[in-house]
A and B are shown apart, each in its own frame.
Chain A
């Protein structure tokens, strides 16, 4: 079972923590400089070297060029490849753990891209696990490393540690607050990026935001993780304060919104992605704030992932909007 499918009563503002490392192997040009044939050869070589580390019971290995465009986009929605790569037919390899926590992309923008995602506030444990995996890989493959620039990467924006540490936050109140813009630009000054997980700018869907480090050179991994965790923590605190203030203000309006959102999700026959995301976000916040009590635990973030365009199961005679409505109303538990 995937980590985001495990039922939980997660109420925290921090939904998940993710660390990603970019690595290249000595003696080979970076993937974008390789012909398709060379790229394939290198991928087989890397796969051969790494497969003892990623046994078949626990990991799946995929070759991306045999996937359809939709399947590649679905990998992007699961954050296993980036959007540029999802649009390419270049041969890439992907080891992915059965719970979707760990993944290793071969021959993407760089030779290797290692990733680990854990639910909740867990950057440090996620990093420790990934660093051990990085060490194990470093023993079989010689990394391209320079005393001055650290781990050498295709993009100068990744060089040094090659580390991107990200926390996924659910910010339904803060993102609607007038202080949000100021707060995100303040974060930028600390080298922290804030961007919506789905959609862009004001069109952010589901109020999910990623907080991650911009700089990768000149800081140790522990410093990067510390900063991201601290900044994400501050945003989460702001969100919780605002929600508390709204609760204390009282009135029936927020409760009404919560029930309406639940009602739509439970009874609608057609749901666009935006609608589903908006109401799921509303229900997640309402459960956390105590306006709604669900009879069974459910992973709301997992549901948000499942209603994305390319993740939806396909069934003859049903439109994606109809499929989404079916999926949501069967997954959403009764109210207490």
Chain B
């Protein structure tokens, strides 16, 4: 589903509003959601609660109390478009629903990955190519490297933006990274 505001990016934030007992649901991308004014809830998007993820992983369950503060009137959700796993579900169960969740929640989980693993990049073995189409794969791998380099640059810019708390820039960079690495998905 596309973001109903910019109609360009994938909508990953679900916003439920209850007015006079009638609930309506809106879908935005993270970048738009951050630009919009949701009153006190904007703060949630700007400083996305990283500690929720950690407490979920540690099984403390701090997420529940925090959720009660939001509910029942308004709720935000980052949702994986492929499997429908929401960020709060992920925080609660500490488990992803599909391979695409990693891309969707990438920005939110990076810090915690470092907490768990002390690292954020894989350095071990990679899947072997199928022998049949070795040539085609090799050609693709060649193209991939330059793209991988671009991605590296974007990622370091993103880190910089996050450190400077430039969330708009960060969201834009995140989307660029995603569209670039998304082209790789099969």
A contacts, CB < 8 Å to B: 24, 26-30, 32-33, 109, 131, 135, 138-139, 142-157, 159-161, 163, 191, 215-221
Contacts and interface: CB of A to CB of B under 8 A. Distances in A.
B163 interface: no
B38 interface: no
Nearest to B125: A221
B119 interface: yes
B45 interface: no
Interface string B97-118: 1110011001001001100111
Given A144-B99, A156-B109, A217 B117 contact: yes
Interface of B: 57, 82-85, 94-99, 102-103, 106, 109, 112-113, 116-128, 130-131, 148, 151, 181, 184, 186
Mostly, the B contact residues are loop
Nearest to A152: B99
A153 B123 CA distance: 16
Nearest to A144: B99
B97 A33 contact: yes
A163 B57 CA distance: 19
Given A139-B130, A154-B96, A29 B120 contact: no
7 contacts: A138-B128, A142-B127, A143-B127, A149-B121, A150-B122, A161-B122, A218-B122
Contacts of B181: 147
Contacts of A219: 119, 123-124
Given A33-B83, A161-B122, 20 more contacts: A29-B82, A29-B83, A33-B84, A33-B97, A135-B128, A142-B127, A145-B127, A151-B127, A153-B96, A154-B97, A160-B117, A161-B124, A161-B125, A217-B119, A217-B122, A218-B120, A219-B123, A219-B124, A220-B123, A221-B124
Contact of B113 (A28, A33, A154, A217): A217
A160 B124 CA distance: 7
Contacts of A147: 122, 148, 151, 181, 184
B66 to A, nearest CB: 20
B118 A148 contact: no
A30 B148 contact: no
B126 A29 contact: no
Mostly, the A contact residues are loop
Contact of A139 (B103, B112, B131): B131
Nearest to B186: A26
Given A32-B97, A154-B95, A220 B124 contact: yes
Nearest to A148: B121
Nearest to B131: A139
Nearest to A149: B102
B98 A218 contact: no
A157 B113 CA distance: 8
A147 B121 CA distance: 8
The residue among B85, B98, B131 with the most chain A CB atoms within 10 A of its own CB is B98
A156 B98 contact: no
Contact of B117 (A30, A144, A151, A216): A216
B116 A30 contact: no
Contacts of A215: 116-119
B88 to A, nearest CB: 15
A154 B103 CA distance: 13
A155 B93 CA distance: 9
B122 A148 contact: yes
Given A29-B82, A135-B128, A218 B118 contact: yes
Nearest to B109: A156
B175 to A, nearest CB: 16
A191 B82 CA distance: 33
A215 B122 CA distance: 11
- Listed from nearest, the 8 A-B pairs whose CB atoms lie closest are A218-B119, A150-B122, A217-B117, A144-B99, A161-B124, A33-B97, A152-B99, A29-B98
Contacts of A109: 95
B102 A152 contact: yes
B141 to A, nearest CB: 11
Contacts of B98: 28-30, 33
B147 to A, nearest CB: 10
B174 to A, nearest CB: 13
A218 B127 contact: no
Contacts of B106: 148
B117 A218 contact: yes
B50 to A, nearest CB: 13
